Amino acid sequence: MTLSGRHFVAGRAEPGEGEVFTGVDPIGGGALAPDYREAGAGQIDRACAQAGAAAPAYAAATPAVRATLLRGIADGLEALGDELLQRITAETALPAERVLAERGRTRQQLQQVADLLAEGSWVDARIDHGDPARRPQPKPDLRRMLVPLGPVAVFGASNFPLAYSVVGGDTASALAAGCPVVVKGHPAHPGTSELVGAMVTEVVRAQRLPAGTFSLLHGRTPATGGALVRHPAITAVGFTGSEGGGRALFDLAAARPQPIPVFAEMGSMNPVFVLPRAMALRGSRIAEQLAASATLASGQFCTSPGMVLWLPGPGAGTFAAALRTQLGASRPGPTVHATIRSGYERVLAEVRALPVAVHAVATGGDAAATKVCPTLLAATPDAVLAHPRLRSEIFGPALLAVPTHEPADLLAIARSLPGYLTATVHGDGDDFEQHAELIAVLRRKVGRLIANGVPTGVEVCASMVHGGPYPASTDARFSAVGTSSITRWVRPVCWQDWPHALLPEELRDDNPRRIRRMVDGVEQ
């Protein structure tokens, strides 16, 4: 397909109306054709208005129809073949192996929510039959299930051009829930977004769904995103990115005449705690594993480990030395765009102005325009407690080492932590029992507790929780990954004393969809 800088507004391919921008080669720094223009106010309005117009019909589409759409998108992603892979590599500098893996993950996400629709029980149907003879008041017949919220605005992420972008987890789960989607593609990879957006538009057309079911808008200014969030047809927002960006959208949504939910996943420090027996038995191996995780893909994962804490004792010195060796020997690499590099360098400068030592900095690597150097920093427990900046994410290949003096230090730091996506604890023997209070504190701080592993590598499955207390996300009750992510885009509705023939199939007594339900307090 020849890229031409197109937006896709409710089935129509058209050029933008605002200022020009392009994708940029992260290695050489040069512009990548074609030119893209910022979405105009009229395009934003039409995309949202058409999504609103499509919402009733798309919500009424059967689960089978929605599942067919999702499977069609998954197949279309594969059919884009090498053209898509090559454009992603050109726009992000991600290696081919990583891009292939991400495509596989994205297809898996689409197929999993399609399977969820086919099974059907996710709507959480509950029935309490009426009893008109009950005294002193008759009991009404009550039936409830989850229904779509309406049009969802999805903001693509820069570091995952497929899995958190045009057809990533937010789009897949929103379409599965029965919500039309308006995507604002990330300006770091507009060509990738155009390729995928054109494919989705064609799948929607081929399946004769309402044109407003899907739109893709390009833009790099806050005004474009702000106009999208403020549009009255939009009923919810999905975002993956920085805390500043997510909070700005959250505040805009809250200030609307009719506020709407923003489900923003905004990053994390992801601390790692190495307990004494684990340190003594395998400290060097843990250091190698941790360094590899922290530098993976130049640290461009919201789940990259950013802090490691340990107690004095056997193996601690060897662990610290191995960590310095591993980080120092790592190769600098490119980021997906220059803003990540500049942000990394800015935050490192902020951190180094505090009571922090620099223990290792990787050197060499290629001459990429967006190159970042893995860095090992060190701070005392007192410094971490005194300076909130040391408890905040450094997005990139940096790791803060915090050797502590006693278990009370670990507890004090754990209690001071804000919300994170993950916390990891390495333990052997009775480590976990001896530090049960620490683990209890960490459970209150994160969405995912990891034993004897690393936080990178987010499995896409029903039990995954990718979220956490603020500022890891704006709503800790939900996950941005896995089939449970569909529950962000729905709300419960109750039908009271409704004519049986007019009830949704999921709530009828004969249960034609054969789904699991709660009936009169008993799961059936």
Q: Is 27 part of any domain?
A: no
Q: Is 494 part of any domain?
A: no
Q: Which run of H or E residues covers position 424?
A: strand 420-426
Q: Is 511 part of any domain?
A: no
- Report CA Rg, the chain: 25
Residues 45 and 78 occupy one common structural domain: yes
Name the pTM for this structure: 0.97
Strand partners, 372: 333
Residues 282 and 198 occupy one common structural domain: no
Q: What's the pLDDT at 364?
A: 87
CA distance 56 to 261: 20
- 265 catalytic residue (yes or no): yes
DSSP code for 39: P
Nearest to 283 by CA among 237, 225, 322: 322
Residues 250 and 301 occupy one common structural domain: no
Q: Is 469 part of any domain?
A: no
The Cβ of residue 139 has, within 10 Å, a number of other Cβ atoms equal to 13
Q: What's the pLDDT at 267?
A: 87
Residue 126 above 90 pLDDT? yes
Q: Is 82 part of any domain?
A: yes
* Strand order across the 12-15 sheet: 12-15, 6-9, 214-217, 181-184, 152-155, 236-240, 262-265
Average pLDDT value over all residues in the chain: 97
Q: Is 524 part of any domain?
A: no
pLDDT tens digit sequence for 265-288: 998 999 999 999 999 999 999 999
Q: Which pLDDT band holds residue 366 (cuts at 50, 70, 90)?
A: confident
* Total domains in the fold of the chain: 2
pLDDT tens digit sequence for 166-222: 999 999 999 999 999 999 999 999 999 999 999 999 999 999 999 999 999 999 999
Residue 123 above 80 pLDDT? yes
Query: Torsions phi, psi of 173, nearest 5?
Result: -70, -35
**Mean pLDDT of all residues in 383-388:** 98
Residues 294 and 354 occupy one common structural domain: yes
Q: Which pLDDT band holds residue 296 (cuts at 50, 70, 90)?
A: very high
pLDDT tens digit sequence for 306-362: 999 999 999 999 999 999 999 999 999 999 999 999 999 999 999 999 999 999 999
Q: What's the pLDDT at 40?
A: 97
Residues 315 and 419 occupy one common structural domain: yes
Residue 367 above 90 pLDDT? no
**Mean pLDDT of all residues in 70-96:** 97
Does residue 186 contact residue 157 with C-beta atoms inside 8 Å?
A: yes
Q: What's the pLDDT at 294?
A: 98
State which residues form the domain around 203: 7-18+34-131+139-266+476-488
Query: Could you say which of 38, 194, 243, 265 is catalytic?
Result: 265
Residue 444: helix, strand or coil by DSSP? coil
Residues 156 and 286 occupy one common structural domain: no
Query: Torsions phi, psi of 443, nearest 5?
Result: -60, -30
**Mean pLDDT of all residues in 435-450:** 98
Q: What's the pLDDT at 478?
A: 98
Q: For the chain, what percent of residues have pLDDT higher than 70?
A: 100
Q: Is 522 part of any domain?
A: no
Residues 280 and 250 occupy one common structural domain: no
Residues 182 and 328 occupy one common structural domain: no
Residues 76 and 206 occupy one common structural domain: yes
Q: Is 281 part of any domain?
A: yes
DSSP string, 86-139: HHHHHHH---HHHHHHHHHHHHHHHHHHHHHHHH-GGG--EEE--BTT-SSSPB
Residues 302 and 412 occupy one common structural domain: yes
Does residue 225 contact residue 199 with C-beta atoms inside 8 Å?
A: no
Query: Could you say which of 38, 48, 179, 302 is catalytic?
Result: 302
C-alpha 125, offset from chain centre: 27
Burial group, residue 141, by CB count within 10 angstroms (0-12, 13-18, 19+): middle
pLDDT tens digit sequence for 467-521: 999 999 999 999 999 999 999 999 999 999 999 999 999 999 999 999 999 999 9
CATH number of the domain to which 117 belongs: 3.40.605.10
CATH number of the domain to which 435 belongs: 3.40.309.10
Residues 362 and 417 occupy one common structural domain: yes
Residues 157 and 226 occupy one common structural domain: yes
Q: For the chain, what percent of residues have pLDDT higher than 90?
A: 99
With tokens 């209690």, the residue in question is 415
